[in-house]
Amino acid sequence: MKQTKPYQNLRVDRNSIINLEKGKIPPQAIDLEEVVLGAMMIDKKGVDEVIDILNSEAFYKESHQYIFEAILSLFENSEPIDLLTVSSQLKKDNRLELAGGDFYLISLTQKVSSSAHIEFHARIILQKYIQRSLIKISNEIIEESYDETKDVFDLLDKAEAKLYDVTQGNIKKSSETAQSLVIQAKKKIEAISNKDGLSGIPSGFDKIDKLTSGWQESDLIIIAARPGMGKTALTLSMARNIAVNQNIPVGFFSLEMSSVQLITRLISSETGLSSEKLRTGRLEKHEWEQLNVKVKSLEKAPLFIDDSPSLSVFDLRAKARRLSSQHGIKLLIVDYLQLMTIGGNNKGGNREQEISTISRNLKALAKELSIPVIALSQLSRAVETRGGSKRPILSDLRESGAIEQDADIVSFIYRPEYYKIDEWDDDDRSSTDGQAELIVAKHRNGGLDNLRLKFIKELGRFENIDDFDSPYEFHSKMNAAANDDTFKPDPNQAFNLPDNSDLPF
């Protein structure tokens, strides 16, 4: 019987050969890896320039990873770095043979004569590593996307988290000289001096803006209070002042209320119609006209509301970046911090560690987009159980001291009438009716103060307290206007009417 030779019947497809020739290999720069490692062993300056740019995984060749880890270990222990010490460290780690032995280390030092251009070479190595990381992540996403048992939103969350890890771990900002920073600071000061008003984003509240000079870019502002104090009402009032009055784009992320509920509260604030009337729809004819006229300015406002529930910090960063690039938002509001999650497979340990991670990421987001980020926060029950004054203090921040550390401004909302306190504890013993206090307890770049605001509960709205100090003054002004023959109502002017009151015209 005739024996068949192995592979005798194997057909070699010409197209397969062509495809093999065009086969893909992961992005790499082996020659530059050799040059960089050699330069690090012959010149300490080279180590200083690239040690914070690269990590061991950035090297494609495994032996190069071992060599870099040995150099990094010596650097962290403040020991000399040269051919002999690196070889000794590799022996100590039982990795000398895996790294190629002494002969290979010698060959690396012979490839270079100095550490010139080492930073440039290191950044190319980093770019290749990022490309490999993106390829790996993309392949994992493709593989998991074919799995019908996977939840698509979990996949999106994982993908966002992995891409974020690549960015955070590898894109590092280099230090700047004092000269370049002084020039930048002078330009900013000149721009502020030529600009009328505030240097930051105006909140619409005179006392707050006087203290802060407006919300400053890159700042993380925490507004904390117990439930029912008006955290959402205050930030909605700010968002309305900024977006409607100043035409400045604002992003509002609500994890507690739906977007329709929020816009209904804004309509109530804008029209002077109580939330109860808007919920029931029982409006008089003139109130319908009032509604249709007053909401026009709100419709045109550059206010963007996102009510995604259980929003992860990675989702928030992705959405905020899109809002910044597409709509140019200048302020971001998050309501509220404790309802956020880390997302992905990241486990921050206990809840306190998770909140710490979230607050750090919010501060990083403010710096990345160069906009102020206002995050609302709950306070612990210690305020309720504490005897004496019910004014919140920094230690009342719920679940994490990291919030206090990361924030540039920490403020609290305090309404004495919530605790059945009728008079302020000041010299005048004035009435607390319809008033609130914004307590600025931490201000990294400014002073501290207790600022009083007017709170209209029926409309869920905060105002400057000097607008109308009492309902009597409000009615006096309205009656005077109604009896004035020259008075002509402006349909674009919002009058904040108390409940069950009619317009004077």
Claim to verify: residue 163 and residue 220 sit in the same structural domain: no
Cβ atoms of 503 and 272 closer than 8 Å: no
pLDDT at 173: 52
Identify the sign of the CA torsion 485, 490, 494, 498: positive
Residue 453 lies in a domain: yes
The tokens describing 437, both together, are: 């206090």
Looking at residue 359, which CATH number applies to its domain?
A: 3.40.50.300
Claim to verify: residue 218 and residue 157 sit in the same structural domain: no
Claim to verify: residue 216 and residue 166 sit in the same structural domain: no
pLDDT at 470: 42
Q: 120 vs 402, which has greater pLDDT?
A: 120
Please name which of 4, 73, 5 lies closest in space to residue 40, comparing C-alpha atoms: 73
Residue 6 lies in a domain: no
7, pLDDT greater than 80? no
What are the tens digits of pLDDT across the range 433-457? 888 888 888 888 888 888 888 888 8
Average pLDDT, integer, range 167-195: 66
Residues that are catalytic:
256
Most confident of 74-88, 294-308, 379-393: 74-88
Strands 303-306 vs 220-225: parallel, antiparallel or unpaired = unpaired
Average pLDDT, integer, range 181-204: 73
Claim to verify: residue 42 and residue 124 sit in the same structural domain: yes
Range of the domain at 455: 201-467
Cβ atoms of 341 and 353 closer than 8 Å: no
DSSP state of 97: T
Residue 157 lies in a domain: yes
For residue 453, the cross-strand partners are 436, 464
Claim to verify: residue 247 and residue 165 sit in the same structural domain: no
Residue 10 lies in a domain: no
Residue 78 lies in a domain: yes
Domain count, the chain: 2
Average pLDDT, integer, range 17-42: 81
Please name which of 69, 504, 15 lies closest in space to residue 272, comparing C-alpha atoms: 504
Site of tokens 């300490």: 44
3-state secondary structure of 455: strand
Looking at residue 93, which CATH number applies to its domain?
A: 1.10.860.10
Claim to verify: residue 155 and residue 212 sit in the same structural domain: no
The tokens describing 105, both together, are: 């280390």
Claim to verify: residue 230 and residue 157 sit in the same structural domain: no
In the structure, what pLDDT confidence band is assigned to residue 60 with cuts at 50, 70 and 90?
very high
Residue 177 lies in a domain: no
Average pLDDT, integer, range 323-333: 87
In the structure, what pLDDT confidence band is assigned to residue 22 with cuts at 50, 70 and 90?
low
* CA distances from residue 267 to 273, 280, 339, 434 in whole angstroms, order as listed: 8, 14, 25, 20
pTM here is: 0.62
Q: 241 vs 168, which has greater pLDDT?
A: 241
Residue 474 lies in a domain: no
Site of tokens 């000398």: 96
CA distance linking residue 275 with residue 78, whole number of Å: 66
How many CB atoms within 10 Å of residue 160? 19
Claim to verify: residue 219 and residue 140 sit in the same structural domain: no
481, pLDDT greater than 70? no
302, pLDDT greater than 70? yes
For residue 455, the cross-strand partners are 462
Q: Which parts of 420-460 are beta strand (E)?
A: 435-443, 449-456
Residue 16 lies in a domain: no
Q: 235 vs 308, which has greater pLDDT?
A: 235
pLDDT at 35: 92
Percent helix, strand, coil in the chain, to 5, is 50, 10, 40
What are the tens digits of pLDDT across the range 342-391? 765 555 457 777 788 888 888 888 888 889 999 998 887 777 777 777 78
